[in-house]
Amino acid sequence: MKNNLIKTFILAALLTGGLASCKKELNRNPINTATADVVYSTAVGYKEALAKVYGAYALTGSTGSSSSDLGGIDAGTSDFLRLYWNAQELPTDEAICAWGDVGLHDFHDMNWTSSNTFLNGLYTRCVYQITVANSFIAQSTDDKLASRGITGADADNVRHYRAEARFLRAYQYWVLMDLFASPPFVDENSPIGKVYPTQISRADLFAYVESELKAIDASLVAPRANEYGRADQAADWALLSRLYLNAEVYLGSGKGRYTDAATYAAKVIGSGYTLNTSYANLFKGDNNLNNPETILSINYDGVNSQTYGGTTFLINSCLNSALNPAAYGVASGGWGGNRAVSTLPATIFGDYSGNTDKRAMFAGPKITNDDESTFTDGLAVVKFTNMTSAGVAAASPNGVFCSTDFPIFRLAEMYLTYSEALLRGGTGTAGSALQYFNLIRTRAYGNTSGNVSSITLNDILNERGREFYFEAARRTDLIRFGLFNSSSYVWPWKGGVIAGKGVESFRTIYPIPAPDLSANPNLKQNTGY
Nearest-angstrom CA–CA distance, 466 and 344: 8
Q: Reply yes or no on whether the pLDDT at 13 is more than 60.
A: no
Alpha-carbon distance of 313 to 76, in angstroms, equals 9
Contact 189, 75 (CB under 8 A): no
State the average pLDDT over residues 108-114. 98
The per-residue pLDDT of the chain, averaged, comes to 92
DSSP string, 202-236: HHHHHHHHHHHHHHHGGGSPPTT-SPTTS--HHHH
- For the chain, the first-to-last Cα distance in angstroms comes to 46
Secondary structure tally for the chain: helices H, strands E: 19, 8
Q: What is d(CA 472, CA 171) in angstroms, rounded to the nearest whole number?
A: 14
pLDDT in tens, 188-213: 999 877 689 999 999 999 999 999 99
Say how far apart CA 268 and CA 228 lie, in whole Å.
16
Q: Which pLDDT band, with edges at 50, 70 and 90, does 482 fall under?
A: very high
DSSP 8-state class, residue 513:
P
Closest CA to 96 of 343, 262, 329: 343
pLDDT on residue 77:
76
Q: What is the mean pLDDT of residues 241-251?
A: 98
* Whole-prediction pTM: 0.94
pLDDT at position 29 is 47
| Largest Cα span, the chain | 66
The residues near 422 (Cβ < 8 Å, ≥ 6 apart) are 258, 262, 428, 429, 430, 433
Which stretches of 59-182 are DSSP H helices?
80-89, 105-109, 117-139, 142-147, 152-180
Crossing angle, helix 80-89 and helix 43-58, to 10 degrees? Answer: 40
The per-residue pLDDT for 12 is 46
Task: State pLDDT tens for residues 262-273.
Answer: 999 999 999 999
Residue 15: what pLDDT? 39
Domains of the chain from N-terminus onward:
1-93+110-306+389-529 (1.25.40.390)
Q: How far apart are CA 447 and CA 462, in angstroms?
A: 19
Calculate the dihedral angle through the C-alpha atoms of 313, 112, 70, 95, rounding to the nearest 10 degrees.
Answer: 10
